[in-house]
């Protein structure tokens, strides 16, 4: 090697080898000699660079692999284990640059410190994950233990409040009501923790049915009303004619509504207003809860549904409620969103969740009268129900059982013999026996009416 050729190699800060196309070392710099503890440059010359820089994944095929790669791209970077001349080994990052058809330049960097740090970091992370699992395990075991006594406390308090232990003085009733609220709050936290554990383990099973969302939202609002009234707040669920149904786990949706509504009450000062609504848009049922409370600062919004996240140190809470909401909603294929302030206003919070809608419960309508069919179908659909019309009802029970109907609506203008036959068939079939049956008739004899009443058949006036 002439001095002119040597200068560039010596000028490199890291170990460098120059090889021929078969990777035999032609020259190297002093850093390479030091790195390999080879003593002299001559001790390295002629060796195969690919033997020194063993790629653990490729081993024997390494030279072939490298040759092929270097015909496709100008340089290749690999992480490898290098064995020094004294037998010690280190992790290295080597890059091979194709200078021309006959020459390849290898640069080699000792990355032992980086690799070991990464390894230690990974071990520390694993220890943290294990500690987190242990903590969650412990918390959920405790929660499990709490659930049984809480349930019996709630049961006992409800019975006392109902007067099963005799009449209670005013003061005792007010204490009981306060205790009931505390027990309910504890129960919610316990259930949140248990749900979270199941979500984490991937063992949360959704028991989906056709859930009437408006009705459920109203029921939850009624349950939360006692807290709202204690703060003189107005809590309203927007009235709507049409029910919106979602194929969802009723208890989980109930939890979602409860967490959102009780947050709205909690974070809205005395005298505030909370407004909840359900609407259906583009295949999604959207539930929006607006309050005119303290709102959420913009910098906290992106983290609001993270576990244990709470804004400041306001009222009591665990920081779990909204993360449960988001997880449950996403398990259902829905969406979760929080806005603050409420759009169009200067304060408060809007929490919205969505669930995929489904057709409402199926009503089987039996009639041959087109005007009657049209009228009743419109009524049913306005309530969010779906309708299947059977104009001839030749094999009513067999044809309908597969449709999983929710009720039968029979036209009283059809021959009485047919009506009573269908009622007997439905009541005699184990799959359908318990379903509501309504006959629309304006002129039914009292004796018939009574006979139908005994068979749990409702008779309503025929609308047209």
| Integer CA distances (angstroms), 275 to 240, 287, 290, 454, in order | 13, 11, 5, 44
Other C-beta atoms within 10 Å of 315: how many? 10
Scan residues 140-169 and list those touching ligand ADP (CB under 6 A).
Answer: none
Scan residues 252-281 and list those touching ligand ADP (CB under 6 A).
Answer: 259, 263-264, 267
Q: Which residue from 18, 224, 287, 296 is in contact with ligand ADP, where contact means CB under 6 A?
A: 296
Check if the beta carbon of residue 408 is closer than 8 Å to that of residue 458: no
Least distance CB 356 / ligand ADP (angstroms): 24
SS3 content of the chain, % helix, strand, coil (to 5): 45, 25, 30
- DSSP states along 98-118: E-SSSEEEEEEEE-HHHHHHH
Least distance CB 348 / ligand ADP (angstroms): 7
Under rule CB under 6 A, residue 393 binds ligand ADP: no
Check if the beta carbon of residue 66 is closer than 8 Å to that of residue 57: no
Under rule CB under 6 A, residue 311 binds ligand ADP: yes
Check if the beta carbon of residue 350 is closer than 8 Å to that of residue 340: yes
Least distance CB 238 / ligand ADP (angstroms): 17
Least distance CB 336 / ligand ADP (angstroms): 11
Q: Which is nearer to ligand ADP, 310 or 385 (CB)?
A: 310
Contacts of 246 (CB under 8 A, 6+ apart): 210, 211, 213, 253, 285, 332, 355, 356, 357, 358
Q: Which residue from 15, 106, 285, 293 is in contact with ligand ADP, where contact means CB under 6 A?
A: 293
Write each residue from 326 to 365 as x if it is in contact with ligand ADP (CB under 6 A), else as -, in one continuous string: -----------------------x----------------
Scan residues 185-204 and list those touching ligand ADP (CB under 6 A).
Answer: none
Q: Which is nearer to ligand ADP, 47 or 307 (CB)?
A: 307
Under rule CB under 6 A, residue 310 binds ligand ADP: yes
Q: Which is nearer to ligand ADP, 348 or 360 (CB)?
A: 348
Quote the CA–CA distance of 35 and 27 in Å, as a whole number.
14
DSSP-H helix ranges across 428-460: 446-454
User: Which residue in 102, 26, 109, 108 sits closest to 70, CA to CA?
Assistant: 102
Under rule CB under 6 A, residue 291 binds ligand ADP: yes
Q: Which residue from 44, 157, 221, 322 is in contact with ligand ADP, where contact means CB under 6 A?
A: 322
Under rule CB under 6 A, residue 373 binds ligand ADP: no
Q: Which residues of this chain interact with ligand ADP, rule CB under 6 A?
A: 259, 263-264, 267, 291, 293-296, 304, 309-311, 314, 317-323, 349
């Amino acid at each position: 090697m002439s001095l002119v050729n040597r200068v560039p190699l010596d000028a490199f800060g890291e170990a460098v080898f120059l090889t021929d196309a078969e990777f035999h070392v032609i020259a190297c710099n002093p850093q390479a000699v030091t790195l390999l503890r080879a003593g002299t440059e001559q001790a390295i010359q002629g060796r195969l660079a690919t033997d020194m820089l063993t790629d653990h994944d490729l081993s024997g095929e390494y030279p072939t692999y490298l040759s092929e790669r270097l015909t496709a791209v100008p340089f290749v970077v690999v992480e490898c284990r290098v064995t020094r001349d004294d037998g010690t080994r280190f992790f290295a990052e080597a890059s091979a640059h194709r200078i021309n058809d006959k020459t390849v330049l290898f640069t080699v960097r000792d990355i032992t410190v980086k690799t070991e740090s990464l390894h230690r970091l990974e071990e520390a992370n694993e220890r943290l994950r294990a500690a987190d699992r242990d903590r969650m395990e412990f918390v959920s075991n405790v929660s499990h233990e709490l659930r049984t006594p809480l349930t019996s406390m709630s049961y006992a308090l409800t019975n006392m409040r109902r007067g099963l232990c005799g009449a209670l003085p005013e003061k005792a009733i007010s204490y009981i009501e306060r205790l009931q609220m505390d027990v309910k709050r504890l129960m919610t936290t316990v259930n949140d923790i248990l749900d979270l554990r199941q979500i984490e383990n991937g063992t949360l099973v959704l028991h989906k049915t056709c859930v009437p969302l408006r009705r459920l939202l109203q029921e939850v609002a009624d349950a939360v009303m006692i807290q709202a009234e204690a703060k003189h707040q107005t809590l309203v669920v927007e009235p709507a004619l049409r029910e919106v149904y979602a194929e969802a786990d009723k208890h989980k949706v109930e939890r979602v509504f409860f967490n959102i509504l009780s947050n709205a009450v909690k974070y809205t000062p005395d005298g505030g207003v909370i407004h909840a609504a359900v609407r259906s848009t583009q295949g999604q049922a959207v539930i929006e809860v607006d309050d005119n409370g303290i709102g959420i600062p913009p910098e906290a919004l992106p983290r609001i549904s993270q576990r244990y996240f709470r804004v400041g140190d306001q009222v009591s809470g665990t920081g779990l409620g909204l993360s449960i909401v988001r997880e449950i909603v996403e398990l259902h294929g829905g969406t979760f969103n929080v806005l603050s302030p409420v759009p169009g206003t200067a304060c408060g919070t809007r929490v919205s969740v969505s669930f995929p809608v489904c057709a409402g419960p199926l009503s089987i309508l039996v009639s041959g009268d087109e005007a009657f069919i049209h009228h009743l179908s419109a009524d049913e659909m306005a309530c969010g129900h779906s309708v299947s019309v059977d104009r001839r009802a030749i094999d009513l029970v067999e044809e309908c059982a597969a449709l999983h109907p929710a009720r039968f609506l029979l036209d009283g203008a059809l021959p009485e013999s047919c009506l009573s036959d269908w009622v007997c068939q439905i009541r005699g079939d184990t799959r359908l026996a318990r379903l509501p049956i309504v006959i629309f008739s304006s002129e039914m004899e009292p004796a018939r009416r009574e006979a139908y009443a005994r068979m749990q058949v409702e008779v309503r006036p025929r609308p047209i």
